[in-house]
Each structure stands twice: as structure tokens, then as C-alpha cells.
Amino acid sequence: MEVKSQLKGKVNVIQLIGDLDSNNASATEAEMSKHIVADCCIVLDFSGLHYISSAGLRVLLMIGKQLKTAGGRWAFCGLSEEIADIMEMTGFSGFFTMYPDLTTALSNLSAKQA
């Protein structure tokens, strides 16, 4: 699992590449937590994510709680059909804002910051 981060304006784009599962969930959560600061804005780019297990879903919940405490906002983008199906089946799609691609996510989150 690889976690890349890049600042696009005031939005931090975190790209997840590979499989998010029990083998790397703790390390991925720790890496993502480094980017959570007061009033931050994050886009999780899933375009490179191939698989997510229940341990990976737990990471998303934990990061979401940290963001809420920090007053931050986030959205997901670039979900494959398989990942989108998992989000739908688990009910996660109702909890998280999802966009089809990074451009759309950045446009929407940047507009809300103005």
C-alpha cells in the first residue's frame, strides 16, 4: 500500500495505491492522520486503490472521526466499480461524499471553502 499526498490549493489530495487491508491498515491510518489539522480539507483519491477490506473500511471511519473532531471536511473520488459496490453494500456511500474524479472533487470542495 502506498499513500501519496499533494496539496492542490487549500485541499490536500491523498492518493491510496494498492490494497487497503489488515496487513497495512494501521500504517495507512497513521500516515493519513499526519494530514489532519484544524479545519483541513482532504480528498481521498481512490483511483489507484484495487481492494479494500473491513480493516480498510475501519480506517476510513477512524479518519472520518478525527476529521470531524478537527473541524475538517473530506470527500472521496476515483472509486472503481468494485470499491463503489463495497461502499454501497456496507452503507458507507450514505456517510461519505463521493465524486467521480479528482477534478470534480477539487472543484466542489474548493467552492465550499470560498
CATH number of the domain enclosing 32: 3.30.750.24
The 10 Å Cβ neighbour count of residue 4 is 12
Strand pairing report for 11-20 and 98-99 = unpaired
| pLDDT at residue 17 tops 60 | yes
Mean pLDDT, the chain, whole residue set? 94
Q: Are the CB atoms for 59 and 1 separated by under 8 Å?
A: no
Range of the domain at 8: 2-113
What is this structure's pTM? 0.92
DSSP letters along 21-33, please?
STTTHHHHHHHHH
- What's residue 95's pLDDT? 86
Q: Structurally, how many domains does the chain consist of?
A: 1
Q: Which of 82, 73, 27 is nearest to 50 (CA)?
A: 82
> What CA–CA distance (Å, rounded) separates 73 from 52?
22
pLDDT digits over 33-66, tens only? 999 999 999 999 999 999 999 999 999 999 999 9
